[in-house]
Amino acid sequence: MSRSDTFHPFARVLHWLMALMILTMLFVGAGMVSTVETKHDWLLAIHKPLGITIFVLALIRLGFRLTHPAPPLPVDMPLWQKLAAHASHWLLYALMIALPLIGWGMLSAGNYPVTLGGGLLLPPILPSDPLVFAWLREAHRYLAWLFFLTFLAHMGAALMHGLIRRDGVLQSMTGGRTPD
């Protein structure tokens, strides 16, 4: 089951699982800071443990990706598209790891207990400092928006490969057979 033109099954499972989690995370984050309703509380209760789960999975995924190369891109893809593909993938990896870390660090600097629910508590990773909190909190917001924009580009490009170019790139992650 390790064809050279598809991702390893483990990579595919991680990809789709994390896609769902990250999208949920981005919507939960955007929603919880823009409402004063009671959903603010339960969205926040989802946001923190989900973020840490994404962080751990992202590290596993990065390790797997570094030891299991991705299928090559089609040879006839324009250079700029290849560069954009590689850059956006590494940006996605960077954001998957950086955003949870910034969230954790910002709560630490803001002197908040980093609670994951059920009495589970993470240690602070930064000393208490309101200035650091403010900068990290702003970074968390803007990098999350960047994450969402990168997701849109990623999804648009994947659909373009699947529907317009029909070059097997989308199938390399869905695992389905390329059209014949």
Partner 1 sequence: MTDETGARSRPPTHTAWRWALIGLAVAGFAAAFGYVAGWLAPGRLTPHRLVNAVAANGGEHAGFRRNHAKGVCVAGRFEASGALAGFSTAPLFAAGTSTPVVGRFAVPGSNPYAADSSVPIRSLALRFDLPDGEQWRTGMNAMAMFPVATPQAFYALQLATHADPATGKPDPAKTKAFFESHPETAPFLAWVKTAKPSASYASETYRSINAFYLRDAAGDRHAVRWAMVPEQPAEGDGGPAAGDTDYLAADLGKRLAAGPLRWHLQMVFAVPGDAVDDATRAWPDDRRMVDAGTLVLTSSQPQADGPCRDVNYDPTILPRGIETSDDPLLAARSATYADSYLRRTSEEAHVPGTKHPGEDKR
Report the interface residues with partner 1, using CB under 8 A. 3, 5, 26-27, 30-41, 44, 74-76, 110-113, 115, 119, 121, 123, 128, 130-135, 137-138, 148, 151-152, 155-156, 159-160, 163-168, 177-180
- Closer by beta carbon to partner 1, 62 or else 115: 115
Task: Specify the DSSP class assigned to residue 58.
Answer: H
Q: Which CB atom, from 58 or from 114, has the smaller least distance to partner 1?
A: 114
Q: How far is the CB of 165 from partner 1 (least distance, A)?
A: 7
- Structure tokens that stand for 130 in this block: 């309101």
Using an 8 Å Cβ cutoff, are 102 and 139 in contact? yes
Give the nearest distance from C-beta 63 to partner 1 in angstroms.
Answer: 28
Amino acid at 42: W
One-letter amino acid of 40: H
Q: Which is nearer to partner 1, 83 or 159 (CB)?
A: 159
Nearest to 106 by CA among 82, 76, 80, 126: 126
116 within 8 A of 79, measured Cβ to Cβ: no
Between 27 and 90, name the residue whose CB sits nearer to partner 1. Answer: 27
Please tell me the distance from the alpha carbon of residue 17 to that of residue 161, in angstroms, as a whole number: 21
CA distance 55 to 77: 32
In the complex, what is the shortest distance from the CB of residue 167 to partner 1, in angstroms, rounded to a whole number?
A: 5
Q: Report the nearest approach of partner 1 to the CB of residue 58 (Å).
A: 21
